[in-house]
């Protein structure tokens, strides 16, 4: 009866995870998807708690209480802008748990393990260990505790590859001769070091791609744990996590027109890549708030293009309020959303949804680009790289080929940013020097708040 209940709850959990993932693939169903996945996790926990091998609940309940307190506190107090580093920390914990389960299973069996179990166990410990340190380094870089720029040294890729091959070599040896305890811990140690070396040459802004790759590793480590523990829900959830993380990394790379190998080994964002853009000639034209307010108030169509600066300024509510004010005056307002605007997938969608911007007003790159020639004013709110025309016009640019929002085709462009700061790529943006563009300096939230009043008075 007990086994029947466990199997049933695991089956339900697996179905809910799949439905949850499906829901997450669209902004309108994302919230429901999240709730389904949460419910699935609850079923998986209940099923696991029924396991007959559990001798005492003391440690499990202590873990549940501590974990719930930490999770609730993170949910309440971590701001949306800190979501990438929060995710990095969660991956580190998850991967560390997988590695610890693998190590304890190895020690429990005293090295007397059959080849198939040892393959899964070694895979789990190796991936778990490298994901732990890799994610922790991603966290400290993203949190700004250490410099976010890539750290490189001569022969780095060769050294990293040699280290990885040695680790894999020991892993294969252990499958054949599983009883060698010291070698097992050498493999763990090398994997921990490799995790750090893997993330060291990657800049903060490429970190979301790496995070989703590490997420993929953590998922595969959990799937391997499932094989070791003969736990079906871990195998299914781990595999889903592993492959969805990998697909997400590929999609993000595609939206930046970069390959995974370029992200991992290209040290993007270092002084060299920034210098490759060269100097931009000309001057940036500053415009007054009143001029822009008049343009907006009498426009037929306005397109807002949000970027990372909107997230740091937390300006999404002010954007929505300005849109309301304009719509009341009969202006058509649309939002152009670039797939990699901000610092994580769906960053802009989440922020605008939080400000109750209707999903029907959000337009993807392919939908909004043909609309720019008929747009009176394109308002760029803290976006930079995603509107950089060099990606389209300059084949020598490091971001050449990256699809962009073609705001420079609008009749007029207003860029809201604090000063002359560059985007994540560190490149100069020729858009800011074009005749069609006017610069309005200041924190985006502050500028937008003042703009709402100016439009009301226009
Ligand atoms: P961006 O290129 O990073 O530019 C952001 C701009 O916002 C900066 O130029 C900055 O200029 C301005 N800014 C910062 N704080 C501001 C504030 N409080 N008020 C007003 N402006 C502010 O941003 P993006 O155009 O969104 O491009 C995203 C970049 O991240 C892309 O290169 C993309 O490839 C990369 N990336 C994204 C993802 C993802 O999943 N979304 C993943 C990996 C990489 P000032 O300093 O002058 O204000």
Of 47, 77, 107, which residue is a domain's last?
A: 77
Q: How far apart are CA 163 and CA 161, in angstroms?
A: 5
Residue 423 CA: nearest ligand 1 atom is 2
Of 237, 268, 299, which residue is a domain's last?
A: 268
Q: Which residues are catalytic?
A: 385
Of 49, 77, 105, which residue is a domain's last?
A: 77
Give the H/E segment covering residue 216. Answer: helix 207-229
Contacts of 155-158 with C-beta under 8 Å, sequence gap 24+, read 156/197, 156/201, 157/265
What are the Cα distances from residue 188, in Å, to 10, 76, 322? 30, 35, 55
Shared domain check, 254 and 199 = yes
pLDDT digits (tens, 9 = 90+) for 380-392: 999 999 999 999 9
pLDDT digits (tens, 9 = 90+) for 201-231: 887 667 778 888 888 888 888 898 888 888 8
Shared domain check, 310 and 182 = no
Residue indicated by tokens 């919230």:
31
Q: How many CB atoms lie within 10 A of CB 176?
A: 9
**Taking the mean position of all CA atoms in its chain, how far away is CA 372?**
28
Write the DSSP assignment of 53-108 as a string of letters. T---SHHHHHHHHHHHHHHHHHHHHS-GGGHHHHHHHHHHHHHHHHHHHHHHHHHH
pLDDT digits (tens, 9 = 90+) for 406-429: 999 999 999 999 998 988 888 899
What's the domain count of the chain? 3
CA of 316 to the centre of ligand 1 (A): 15
pLDDT digits (tens, 9 = 90+) for 73-104: 998 998 877 878 888 898 899 899 999 999 99
Residue 207 CA: nearest ligand 1 atom is 43
Q: State the pTM of this model.
A: 0.78
**CB of 20 closer than 6 A to ligand 1?**
no
CA of 427 to the centre of ligand 1 (A): 11
CA of 282 to the centre of ligand 1 (A): 22
CA of 205 to the centre of ligand 1 (A): 9
Indicate which residue's Cα is closest to atom 15 of ligand 1: 309
Give the CA-trace dihedral at 170, 175, 179, 182, to 10 degrees. 20
CB 379 within 8 A of CB 318: no
Q: Which of 213, 268, 309 to mutate to test the pocket of ligand 1 (most atoms within 8 A of CB)?
A: 309
Q: How many CB atoms lie within 10 A of CB 165?
A: 10
Shared domain check, 393 and 264 = no
Residue 348 CA: nearest ligand 1 atom is 41
CA of 347 to the centre of ligand 1 (A): 11
Q: Is the pLDDT of residue 107 over 70?
A: yes
**HSE-CB for 279 with a 13 A CA cutoff:** 3
Residue 345 CA: nearest ligand 1 atom is 40
CB 178 within 8 A of CB 172: no
**CB of 269 closer than 6 A to ligand 1?**
no
CB 90 within 8 A of CB 132: no
For residue 294, the enclosing domain spans 276-457
Sheet holding 377-381, edge to edge: 362-364, 332-337, 301-306, 377-381, 412-417, 437-441
Shared domain check, 112 and 257 = yes
Determine the pLDDT at residue 257: 75
Q: Is the pLDDT of residue 272 over 70?
A: no
**CB of 444 closer than 6 A to ligand 1?**
yes
Shared domain check, 120 and 193 = yes
């Amino acid at each position: 009866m007990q086994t029947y209940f466990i199997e049933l709850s695991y089956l339900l959990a697996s179905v809910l995870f799949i439905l949850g993932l499906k829901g997450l693939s669209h902004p309108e169903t994302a919230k429901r998807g999240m709730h389904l996945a949460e419910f699935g996790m609850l079923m998986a926990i209940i099923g696991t708690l029924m396991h007959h091998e559990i001798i005492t609940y003391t440690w499990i309940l202590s873990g549940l209480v501590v974990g719930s307190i930490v999770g609730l506190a993170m949910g309440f107090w971590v701001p949306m802008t800190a979501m990438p580093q929060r995710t990095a920390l969660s991956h580190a914990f998850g991967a560390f748990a997988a590695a610890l389960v693998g190590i304890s299973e190895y020690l429990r069996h005293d090295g007397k393990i059959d080849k198939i179990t040892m393959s899964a166990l070694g895979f789990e410990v190796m991936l778990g260990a490298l994901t732990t340190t890799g994610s922790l380094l991603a966290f400290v870089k993203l949190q700004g505790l250490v410099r976010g720029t890539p750290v490189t040294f001569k022969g780095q890729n060769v050294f990293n590859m040699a280290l990885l091959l040695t680790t894999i070599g020991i892993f294969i040896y252990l499958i054949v001769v599983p009883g060698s305890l010291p070698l097992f811990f050498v493999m763990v140690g090398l994997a921990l070091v490799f995790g750090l070396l893997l993330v060291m040459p990657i800049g903060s802004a490429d970190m979301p791609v790496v995070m989703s790759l590490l997420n993929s590793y953590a998922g595969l480590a959990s799937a391997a744990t499932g094989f070791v523990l003969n736990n079906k829900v871990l195998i299914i959830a781990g595999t889903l996590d592993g492959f969805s993380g990998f697909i997400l990394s590929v999609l993000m790379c595609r939206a930046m027109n970069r390959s995974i190998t370029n992200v991992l080994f290209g040290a993007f964002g270092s002084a060299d890549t920034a210098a490759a853009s060269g100097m931009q000639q000309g001057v940036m034209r500053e415009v007054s708030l009143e001029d822009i307010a008049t343009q907006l108030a009498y426009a037929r169509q306005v397109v807002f293009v949000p970027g990372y600066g909107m997230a740091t300024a937390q300006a999404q509510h002010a954007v929505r309020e300005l849109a309301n004010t304009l719509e009341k005056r009969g202006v058509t307002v649309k939002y152009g959303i670039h797939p990699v605007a901000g610092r994580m997938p769906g960053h802009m969608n989440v922020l605008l949804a939080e400000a109750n911007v209707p999903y029907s007003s959000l337009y993807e790159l392919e939908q909004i680009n043909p609309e720019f020639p008929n747009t009176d004013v394109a308002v760029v709110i803290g976006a930079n790289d995603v509107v950089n025309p060099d990606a389209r016009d300059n084949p020598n640019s490091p971001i050449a080929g990256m699809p962009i929002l073609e705001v420079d085709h609008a009749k007029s462009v207003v860029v809201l940013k604090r000063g002359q700061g560059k985007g994540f790529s560190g490149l100069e943006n020729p858009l800011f020097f074009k005749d069609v563009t006017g610069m309005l300096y200041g924190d985006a939230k502050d500028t937008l708040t003042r703009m709402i009043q100016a439009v009301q008075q226009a």
